[in-house]
A and B are shown apart, each in its own frame.
Chain A
Amino acid sequence: MMNAIILFVALPLFAAFLLPIMGKFFKRGFDTFIFLVVLFLIFLSLYMLIKPPAMPYVYKMGGWPLPFGITWLLDSLSVFMLFVVNLITFFAAVYSIDYMKQYTCKWKYYCLLMLLLAGLNGVALSADLFNVFIFLEITSIASYALVAYGTGREETEASFKYMVLGSVASAFILLGIAVIYAKTSTLNMFDMARAMPQGADSLKLKLFIATLFITGFGLKAALVPFHSWLPDAHPSAPAPISAMLSGVVIKVIGVYALIRIMFNIFSLNPVISELLLALGGLSMFVGVVLAIGQWDFKRLLAYHSISQIGYVVCGIALGTPLGIAGGLFHLLNHSVFKSLLFLNAGSVEYACGTRELKKLGNLKEDMPHTSWTSMVASLSIAGVPPLCGFWSKFIIIVALFQANRFFYGSLAILVGLITLGSFLKVQRYIFYRKLSGSLLKVKEAPVFMCLSMAGLAILCVLIGIFFKPILDNVLIPASQSLLGGREYFITLLGI
């Protein structure tokens, strides 16, 4: 049964392979096919999450014994990431059924989406450093192509920017892997944790490797000194892809891969922790400040993504149990509400043909479903109490104060307030403002787009209400596997 984890990568890859063949012979039916694939995957990941089978489970590719061969690891953290990835992909795929009618050649889009999904699942599962790099590149190449999917002026420019910076990031990551390999002569992450030299004289080497990885993964995650591609790339993609990019891609190939290496191979030393905390705090603040002056809906959301990823990194880099749990919780919440907001932006653009806040207005009556879902999402991201965003921000802020990081704690509160103000502006300009007649009568988005948005909005409320069971059953075990540090990976070597 546990061998089924191979399906997380194999099924999307096979679907991506099958789609061009189907595209040759069929005109329709792709929607149903992709819907079935993602539905199966979300149920599989839900099953793995709810009924934890023998965890942690190590899958040995081709039956090779442990330090050799490629290994995959399914533990409480990677199962959590798998669930987040497949959840957001499911809603994005449902949304695409109607939204992608604007573009030609739907099967090409679905083919790239499936490659993206295969890469993300692979990064979440893999416990072999070079294998992580391969899946990371699959994800990156699929997302470069998806950003340029419209092939207009802006899309190509944004995609080129993203591609150059993303490829340089990949080169940095590969250089880091090469240095680690030169030192430890192994690629298996468990064996690497064992062979990593300890003691004071190895600190310089560790910092060198950490710098390479932080540069590489920081570029992928758009932490602040490396963020310049994100506000161009995320708005230029089609709306469901913006939701995927902001919702999961920057987290899985940026934050998740980085924390796996930093915690489980290096055992997070204080210097790296301090560096990550500073980068997180900087992204939190700079992202939100840059978002204030934006009048393009999707661009504003993209800047808020930078700011929110700062919260996640701040929480996790703290290294305390509460901080890590809060960071992971915010990762889940951010993928839910930010995807929802990007889908809302897509609906608004679909209905009105523009996403300039100054040209929109009065959509509350015309687009009731988009309006209420985006209200829920805005309140969530701003951290209004019963909704999901509040709890994770609250936990992160409490953890920061508990660890005597008063500066970062107050910064997080300040950024939360600015976020609230910024989203009140969005709500007022798009939905609640009375506009005298410049907009024609607009129609509500088609049914599948509404269903997808409503699903995510309900999820926002449910996570907010049931935060305690989620925290106890999912996030605390997930944070345990990071807290276990290097010793946790060394024990896995014996399985």
Chain B
Amino acid sequence: MILFLMDIVLFLIGLYAVVAHRNLIKKVIGFGIIEYAVNLFFVLAGYKTGADAPIFEKNIPGMIFVDPLPQALVLTSIVIGLGVTALMVALCIRIYQHYGTFDVNRIKDLKG
């Protein structure tokens, strides 16, 4: 239980970084933290104490495995996260070329 709560705290730290930081790159890093927290949550959901890696062997009876499905899902979600982060950073570079700054308070051509 304590692990899950700490994971939620990690999620909130990421959310705080996205919302409160003024620097675009720090926002991207905050998004990275959110991503890790969610992936960790998924892996924790499939974790069992004292269980083994999910590789089936015939000779060992009564072995317990961790749930392999979340691990497969997390791999997919990491790849998606990589794509999104790459696009974000690329866009940050473009914004820097146009505005000459990473500060969100000075990037406001559009009125909210």
Among B38, B76, B94, the residue within 8 A (CB) of A175 is: B38
Residues in chain A near residue B41, CB distance under 8 A: 175, 178-179
A-B contact pairs, 17 of them (CB 8 A): A133-B77, A134-B76, A137-B84, A148-B91, A154-B109, A156-B94, A157-B110, A158-B110, A167-B88, A168-B31, A171-B38, A174-B77, A178-B70, A181-B70, A182-B45, A187-B73, A228-B112
Contact A178 B38 (CB under 8 A): yes
Q: In the complex, A157→B111 CA distance in Å? A: 11
Q: In the complex, A375→B88 CA distance in Å? A: 39
Is B13 located at the chain interface by the 8 A CB criterion? no
Contact A181 B42 (CB under 8 A): yes
B97 to chain A minimum Cβ distance, whole angstroms, is: 9
A175 to chain B minimum Cβ distance, whole angstroms, is: 5
Residues in chain B near residue A159, CB distance under 8 A: 91
Among A163, A170, A175, A228, the residue within 8 A (CB) of B87 is: A163
Is A152 located at the chain interface by the 8 A CB criterion? yes
Is B98 located at the chain interface by the 8 A CB criterion? yes
Complex interface bits, A72-110 against B, C-beta within 8 A gives 1, otherwise 0: 000000000000000000000000000000000000000
Is B51 located at the chain interface by the 8 A CB criterion? no
Q: In the complex, A130→B77 CA distance in Å? A: 10
By size class, the interface of chain A is 20 to 34
A180 to chain B minimum Cβ distance, whole angstroms, is: 10
Question: Chain A interface secondary structure, helix, strand, loop or mixed?
Answer: helix
Contact B42 A178 (CB under 8 A): yes
Among A145, A175, A187, the residue within 8 A (CB) of B11 is: A175
Is A153 located at the chain interface by the 8 A CB criterion? yes
Contact B87 A141 (CB under 8 A): yes
A-B pair count, CB < 8 Å, reads: 87
A352 to chain B minimum Cβ distance, whole angstroms, is: 21
A178 to chain B minimum Cβ distance, whole angstroms, is: 5
Contact B80 A134 (CB under 8 A): yes
Nearest to A182 among chain B residues (CB) is B45
- When A and B form their complex, which 8 residue pairs have the shortest distance between CB atoms, in order from nearest? A182-B45, A178-B42, A153-B98, A171-B34, A156-B94, A232-B110, A156-B95, A178-B41
Contact A163 B107 (CB under 8 A): no
A368 to chain B minimum Cβ distance, whole angstroms, is: 33
Residues in chain B near residue A148, CB distance under 8 A: 91, 94
Q: In the complex, A163→B24 CA distance in Å? A: 12
Q: In the complex, A141→B83 CA distance in Å? A: 8
Is B18 located at the chain interface by the 8 A CB criterion? yes
Residues in chain B near residue A337, CB distance under 8 A: none
Is B6 located at the chain interface by the 8 A CB criterion? no
Nearest to B27 among chain A residues (CB) is A164
Contact A157 B95 (CB under 8 A): yes
Given contacts A175-B11, A175-B38, A232-B110, contact A160 B31 (CB under 8 A): no
A-B contacts besides A144-B91, A175-B41, 9 pairs, CB < 8 Å: A148-B91, A148-B94, A151-B94, A157-B109, A158-B110, A159-B91, A175-B38, A178-B41, A232-B112
Q: In the complex, A152→B94 CA distance in Å? A: 9
Contact A160 B73 (CB under 8 A): no
Q: In the complex, A145→B86 CA distance in Å? A: 12
Q: In the complex, A162→B108 CA distance in Å? A: 14
Q: In the complex, A148→B91 CA distance in Å? A: 8
Among A141, A181, A182, the residue within 8 A (CB) of B84 is: A141
Q: In the complex, A159→B109 CA distance in Å? A: 13
Among B31, B107, B108, the residue within 8 A (CB) of A164 is: B31
Residues in chain B near residue A157, CB distance under 8 A: 95, 107-110
A258 to chain B minimum Cβ distance, whole angstroms, is: 19
Contact B42 A163 (CB under 8 A): no
Contact A168 B109 (CB under 8 A): no
B19 to chain A minimum Cβ distance, whole angstroms, is: 9
Residues in chain B near residue A145, CB distance under 8 A: 87
Q: In the complex, A284→B102 CA distance in Å? A: 35
Nearest to B91 among chain A residues (CB) is A160
Q: In the complex, A171→B8 CA distance in Å? A: 12
Nearest to B67 among chain A residues (CB) is A185
Complex interface bits, B16-57 against A, C-beta within 8 A gives 1, otherwise 0: 001000001001000100110110011001000000000000
Nearest to A161 among chain B residues (CB) is B110
Contact A163 B38 (CB under 8 A): no
Contact A137 B42 (CB under 8 A): no
Residues in chain A near residue B27, CB distance under 8 A: 164
Residues in chain B near residue A174, CB distance under 8 A: 38, 42, 77
